């Protein structure tokens, strides 16, 4: 049975399929998206690199242009006219975005000389250094290009925003870049944006030209510089890039960064950027860059979405398909489970399902503390009906029996058909009527089932046997209960059929012993422990030994001595009788040959043969090959068979017995009087002896009926020309009575027990036989 958990899983199989396929699609799309994103991230970084390197390139170009201008001034020892300066710079620079200037150092004493010189050079009579005021030193702009700022602005005046860097330039030999400033050299710049950078370098004149030039005590001659608008600079950089880039730049030379450019909306910076650092003169710039839009908007969503949609469609298709399969599977399962539960022929529960029901009822009875009776019912001699009237009619009879069984059993009884002619019945004891016991129920079932049936115009009679077991006294589980009920059934069958038996501890013990006997017997056949003994048969008139019966003796290491009366029936049930029978024949022949070799004359030896042995197709060929192998005269051999074989398989057995008899082997019917068959075979079959069963002989002197029966059997045997053997004669009274009745031969402890093969030479009966030479 499928567990509820598994069933729930089956019901949701289509949902599971959808989820699995769709999740696969989702995972694939996500992987594609992330791959694309990281690719775009790399592109963004490459763009940032490009931007930073272009920016650095432009700044380097500015520096080198300024270098050239400084070289011009230095090489001309300061004597550069504004025209010369303009001409030089014009030829040097390609764009007008950068402004070059030179501010010459003018000590206070040279101020008027300087001013008058510049007035001449510029042709401007109103020229003067400004802002006005007396200072110790001046550094007015004396060379400018392009001319966007006025000549004469003193960059040492306190109004100049970048005064500090001027002082730095003056005191060092290094290039200096300013922090971002509002437009320099203009006086009203408080509200102007800080969007200009000034690059400055000090000019020191060569030694030889210092004398007539105004320098300070460190031969500082002035500052040459260039300034540029950051926006123009960045425009120049971005215009050379194909991709759109957003950036922000900060001067990070000091502790607090000074942000001076930001081309992006603020929110974008939260979504990631790449950072580069640039060095410009003595300053350090940080440049952040990124694409001008969110990364995900850059991702090519089409392939990502098309994969997702494809998987979604696949998931839908598979879900639909799985659901369809599931529906078919369920309907097939329903049909199969109906087929599995109900037996087609009888309409009762199937063999499988009734056992399942038994397990369920066991759980119920355990929980409710109730008793459960389990019966196995088997029809008696159903095989005969099948053989006589065919299987079709047999099936119809089974259906009728099922119907009758349903009627006779209580409503709540569970009835299952086990196949063949067997049924399993389960009854919770509460379901029985108060007055009814399990024994009554079993009896009434047997009675009802045994009433005649009318099938296809025929009146049929069939009996049944029942084996039962009651839970919780026995059997913890379904398999054990059925096994016990089977054992009880077997006992009912062996007790003569048409009866019932309940399993009990003794039965279980016997069963266990039987299993052990079977196991040990198989082993004994391979090793040792088995022996043949021989019991003499005596002529009741001459009192001479006229034959011997070979009887098996077994002493097992574990079980001790086990009687053949116990192990032969077990061997017959389990099939061990076949190899065991072969062993007996082989052994009997060997002994016969040994005795011959020892010169001991022995009478014919009778071997007991079970039905299963005679049913073997190779029985007769085997017998022939043994006779041939040991070169034994068939007259020295007798075979004893019981009546039962003639009841079970009279026809084929009759032919075999005739063949055996034709060889010269004599035949005896063993245990005569205990079977139930017709006596006709006595006249038709080639028997030589009838052996009256020892149950009759045992009581012959006390029980008149047994005496009468024995007498009748002897007369019957004689009338049919058969010799009669009485077995089990254990006292003289029995012997006298049998002699009076005219019995021919006797066998029993009165004469001798069965003897070992080796004691033949010393046994008085055999010795006497050898002395008189010859026997009948």
Q: Which residues bind Mg ion (CB under 5 A)?
A: 608, 640, 670-671
State yes or no: residue 732 binds ligand C2E (CB under 6 A): no
Task: Kindly tell me which of 268 and 525 has the beta carbon lying closer to ligand C2E.
Answer: 525
# residues contacting ligand C2E (CB under 6 A): 24
Return the HEC string of 378-436: EEECHHHHHHHHCHHHHHHHHHHHHHHHHHHCCCCCEEEEEECCEEEEEEEHHHCCCCC
* Closer residue to Mg ion (CB): 74 or 671: 671
Sheet-wide strand order for 463-471 = 414-419, 422-428, 372-380, 463-471, 500-502
How far lies 586's CA from each of 592, 622, 623, in Å?
10, 10, 10
Window 398-437: contact mask with ligand C2E (x via CB under 6 A): ----------------------------------------
> Is 731 an interacting residue with respect to ligand C2E (CB under 6 A)?
no
**Using CB under 6 A, which of the segments 5-13, 488-496, 544-552, 650-658 binds ligand C2E?**
544-552
Compute the least distance from the CB of residue 761 to ligand C2E, in Å. Answer: 22
Q: Which residue, among 169, 174, 194, 172, has the nearest Cα to 184 in the 3D structure? A: 194
Q: Of Mg ion, ligand C2E, none, which one sits near residue 494, judging by CB under 5 to 8 A according to partner kind? A: none
Query: If binding is defined by CB under 6 A, does position 551 make contact with ligand C2E?
Result: yes
Using CA atoms, how far residue 538 sits from 194, 358, 545, 752, in Å, is: 148, 59, 4, 9
| Peptide bond before residue 146 is cis, with ω within 30 degrees of 0 | yes
Q: Which is nearer to ligand C2E, 421 or 671 (CB)?
A: 671
CA 226 to CA 200: how far, in whole Å? 7
| Least distance between Mg ion and beta carbon 670 (Å) | 4
Interface with ligand C2E, residue 743, by CB under 6 A: no
Cα 556-559-560 angle, rounded to 5 deg: 60
Output the smallest distance, CB 567 to Mg ion, in A. Answer: 15
User: Considering only 265-273, 308-316, 547-555, 674-682, which stretch makes contact with ligand C2E by CB under 6 A?
Assistant: 547-555
Q: How far is residue 176's CA from residue 145's CA, in Å, rounded to a whole number?
A: 20
**Partner from Mg ion, ligand C2E, none contacting 257, C-beta within 5 to 8 A by type:** none
Please answer whether residues 581 and 638 qualify as being in contact, where contact means their C-beta atoms are separated by less than 8 angstroms. no
Residues contacting residue 47 through CB under 8 Å, at least 6 positions apart: 241, 243, 245, 289, 291
Q: From the list 187, 528, 563, 678, which residue makes contact with ligand C2E (rule: CB under 6 A)?
A: 563
Smallest distance, ligand C2E to C-beta of residue 333, A: 53
> Binds 552, which of ligand C2E, Mg ion, none (CB < 5 to 8 A, cut-off by type)?
ligand C2E
Q: How far is the CB of 734 from Mg ion (least distance, A)?
A: 15
Alpha helices (H) in 537-675, listed in sequence order: 564-574, 577-598, 611-615, 619-630, 643-648, 650-663
Closer to ligand C2E by CB, 603 or 748: give it.
748
Decide: is 223 part of the binding site for ligand C2E (CB under 6 A): no
Q: Which is nearer to ligand C2E, 55 or 609 (CB)?
A: 609
Q: Which of 564, 579, 634, 686 binds ligand C2E (CB under 6 A)?
A: 564
How far apart are CB 528 and ligand C2E at their closest, in Å? 17
Query: Quick one: 270 exposed, middle or buried, by C-beta within 10 A (0-12, 13-18, 19+)?
Result: exposed
Closest approach, Cβ 588 to ligand C2E, in A, equals: 8
Q: What is Dmax (Cα atoms) for the chain?
A: 189
Closest-CA residue to 642 (of 693, 707, 574): 693
Q: What are phi and psi of 107, to 5 degrees?
A: -70, 160
Residue 141 · residue 153 · CB < 8 Å: yes
If contact means CB under 5 to 8 A according to the sort of partner, which of Mg ion, ligand C2E, none does residue 752 touch?
A: none
> What's the closest the beta carbon of residue 562 comes to ligand C2E, in angstroms?
10
Residue with smaller CB distance to ligand C2E, 386 or 613: 613
* Residue 715 contact partner, candidates Mg ion, ligand C2E, none, CB within 5 to 8 A by sort of partner: none
3-class DSSP assignment, residue 746: strand
573 binds ligand C2E (CB under 6 A): no
When asked if residue 65 is in the footprint of ligand C2E (CB under 6 A), the reply is no
> Up-side HSE of residue 63: CA atoms within 13 Å toward CB?
14
| Residues 695/674, Cβ–Cβ less than 8 Å | yes
**Secondary structure (3-state) at 547:** strand
Among 343, 671, 744, 763, binds ligand C2E (CB under 6 A): 671
Q: Which is nearer to Mg ion, 418 or 669 (CB)?
A: 669
Name which of residues 1 to 60 contact ligand C2E (CB under 6 A). none
Instruction: Return the number of the residue (354 or 606) whose C-beta is nearest ligand C2E.
Output: 606
638 binds, among Mg ion, ligand C2E, none (CB under 5 to 8 A by kind): none
Length of the chain: 776
Q: Which of 670, 713, 745, 765 binds ligand C2E (CB under 6 A)?
A: 670
Pairwise CA distance, residues 735 & 721, whole Å: 22
Range in contact with ligand C2E (rule: CB under 6 A) among 141-149, 196-204, 546-554, 657-665: 546-554
Contacting residue, 540, 584, 735, 766, with ligand C2E by CB under 6 A: 584
Both structure tokens of 156: 């040492």
Q: Which does 565 bind (CB under 5 to 8 A by kind): ligand C2E, Mg ion, none?
A: ligand C2E
Q: At what angle do helices 230-239 and 13-75 cross, to 10 degrees?
A: 120
Please say whether the beta carbons of 660 and 629 come within 8 A: no
Q: Are strands 98-104 and 463-471 parallel, antiparallel or unpaired?
A: unpaired
Tell me the sheet residues that pair with 642.
670
Taking the least distance from each CB to ligand C2E, the nearer of 114 and 534 is: 534
Please, what is the minimum distance in Å from the beta carbon of residue 604 to Mg ion? 14
Strands, sheet with 258-262, edge to edge from the N-terminal-most edge strand: 258-262, 245-251, 283-291, 274-280
Binding partner selected for residue 563 from ligand C2E, Mg ion, none, CB under the kind-specific 5 to 8 Å limit: ligand C2E
636 counts as binding ligand C2E under rule CB under 6 A: no
Residues with Cβ < 8 Å from 613, sequence gap 6 or more? 577, 578, 581, 619
Site for ligand C2E in 675-714 (CB under 6 A): 694
The least distance separating ligand C2E from the CB of residue 502, rounded to whole angstroms, comes to: 29
Under the binding rule (CB under 6 A), the answer on residue 749 touching ligand C2E is yes
Alpha-carbon distance of 278 to 52, in angstroms, equals 8
Q: For residues 267 and 588, what is the distance between their CA atoms, to the nearest angstrom? A: 113
Give whichever of 376 and 609 is closer to Mg ion, judged by the CB atom: 609
Which of 193, 203, 250, 255 lies closest to 225, judged by CA? 203
The reply on whether position 752 binds ligand C2E by CB under 6 A is no
Residue 670, strand partner residues:
642
Residue closer to Mg ion (CB basis): 374 or 608: 608
Q: Which is nearer to ligand C2E, 605 or 627 (CB)?
A: 605
Q: How far is the CB of 646 from ligand C2E (least distance, A)?
A: 15
Q: How far is the CB of 549 from Mg ion (least distance, A)?
A: 5
104 binds, among Mg ion, ligand C2E, none (CB under 5 to 8 A by kind): none
> Could you give the CA distance from residue 228 to residue 65 in angstroms, rounded to a whole number?
12
Q: What are phi and psi of 637, to 5 degrees?
A: -120, 135
Give the C-alpha separation, 714 to 334, whole Å.
Answer: 69
Does 643 contact ligand C2E by CB under 6 A?
no
Interface ranges with ligand C2E (CB under 6 A): 535, 550-552, 563-565, 568, 584, 608-610, 640, 670-671, 694, 727-730, 747-749, 754
């Amino acid at each position: 049975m499928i567990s509820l958990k598994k069933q729930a899983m089956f019901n949701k199989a289509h949902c599971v399929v959808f989820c699995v396929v769709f999740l696969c699609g989702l995972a694939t799309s996500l992987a594609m998206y992330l791959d694309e994103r990281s690719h775009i991230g790399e592109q963004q970084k490459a763009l940032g690199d490009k931007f930073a390197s272009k920016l650095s390139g432009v700044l380097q170009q500015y520096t080198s242009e300024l270098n050239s201008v400084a070289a011009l001034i230095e090489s001309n020892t300061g004597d550069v006219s504004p025209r010369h300066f303009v001409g030089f710079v014009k030829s040097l620079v390609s764009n007008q975005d950068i402004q070059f200037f030179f501010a010459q150092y003018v000590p206070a004493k040279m101020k008027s000389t300087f001013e008058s010189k510049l007035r001449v050079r510029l042709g401007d009579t109103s020229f003067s250094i400004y802002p006005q005021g007396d200072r110790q030193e001046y550094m007015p702009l004396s060379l400018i290009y392009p001319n966007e700022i006025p000549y004469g602005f003193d960059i040492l005046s306190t109004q100049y925003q970048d005064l500090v860097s001027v002082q730095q330039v003056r005191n060092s030999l290094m290039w200096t870049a300013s922090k971002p400033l509002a437009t320099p050299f203009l006086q009203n710049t408080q509200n102007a944006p800080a969007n200009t950078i000034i690059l400055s370098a000090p000019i020191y004149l060569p030694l030889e030209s210092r004398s007539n030039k105004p320098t300070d005590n460190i031969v500082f001659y002035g500052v040459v510089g260039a300034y540029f608008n950051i926006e123009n600079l960045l425009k120049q950089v971005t215009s050379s890039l194909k991709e759109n880039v957003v950036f922000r730049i900060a001067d990070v030379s000091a502790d607090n960064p000074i942000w001076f450019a930001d081309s992006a909306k603020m929110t974008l910076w939260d979504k990631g950027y790449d950072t580069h650092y640039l060095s410009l003169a003595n300053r350090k710039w940080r440049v952040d860059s990124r694409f001008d839009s969110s990364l995900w908007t850059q991702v090519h969503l089409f392939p990502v979405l098309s994969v997702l949609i494809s998987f979604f469609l696949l998931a839908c298709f598979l879900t639909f398909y799985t659901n369809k399969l599931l529906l078919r599977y369920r309907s097939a399962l329903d049909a199969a489970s109906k087929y599995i539960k109900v037996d087609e022929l009888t309409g009762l529960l199937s063999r499988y399902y009734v056992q399942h029901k038994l397990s369920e009822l066991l759980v119920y009875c355990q929980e409710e503390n109730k008793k459960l009776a389990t019966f196995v019912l088997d029809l008696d001699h159903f095989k005969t009906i099948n053989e006589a009237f065919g299987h079709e009619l047999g099936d119809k009879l089974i259906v009728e029996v099922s119907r009758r069984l349903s009627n006779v059993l209580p409503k709540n009884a569970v009835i299952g058909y086990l196949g063949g002619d067997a049924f399993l019945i389960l009854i919770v004891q509460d379901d029985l009527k108060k007055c009814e016991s399990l024994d009554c129920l079993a009896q009434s079932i047997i009675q009802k089932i045994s009433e005649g049936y009318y099938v296809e115009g025929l009146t049929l009679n069939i009996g049944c046997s029942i084996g039962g077991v009651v839970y919780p006294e026995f059997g913890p589980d379904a398999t054990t209960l059925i096994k016990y009920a089977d054992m009880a059934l077997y006992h009912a069958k062996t007790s003569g059929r048409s009866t019932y038996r309940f399993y009990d501890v003794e039965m279980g013990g016997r069963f266990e012993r039987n299993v052990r006997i079977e196991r040990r017997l198989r082993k004994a056949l391979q090793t040792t422990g088995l022996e043949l003994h021989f019991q003499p048969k005596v002529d009741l008139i001459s009192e001479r030994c006229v034959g011997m019966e070979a009887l098996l003796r077994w002493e097992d290491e574990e079980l001790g001595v086990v009687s053949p009366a116990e192990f032969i029936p077990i061997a017959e049930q389990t099939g061990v009788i076949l190899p065991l029978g072969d062993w007996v024949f082989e052994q009997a022949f060997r002994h016969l040959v040994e005795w011959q070799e020892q010169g001991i004359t022995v009478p014919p030896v009778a071997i007991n043969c079970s039905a299963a042995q005679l049913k073997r197709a190779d029985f007769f060929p085997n017998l022939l090959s043994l006779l041939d192998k040991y070169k034994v005269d068939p007259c020295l051999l007798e075979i004893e068979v019981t009546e039962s074989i003639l009841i079970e398989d009279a026809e084929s057995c009759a032919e075999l017995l005739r063949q055996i008899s034709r060889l010269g082997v004599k035949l005896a019917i063993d245990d005569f009087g205990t079977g139930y068959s017709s006596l006709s075979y006595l006249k038709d079959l080639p028997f030589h002896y009838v052996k009256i069963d020892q149950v009759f002989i045992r009581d012959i002197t006390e029980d008149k009926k047994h005496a009468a029966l024995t007498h009748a059997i002897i007369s019957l045997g004689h009338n049919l020309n058969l010799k009669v053997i009485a077995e089990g004669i254990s006292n003289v009274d029995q012997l006298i009575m049998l002699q009076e009745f005219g019995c021919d031969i006797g066998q029993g402890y009165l004469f001798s027990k069965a003897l070992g093969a080796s004691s033949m030479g010393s046994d008085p009966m055999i010795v006497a036989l050898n002395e008189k030479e010859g026997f009948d």
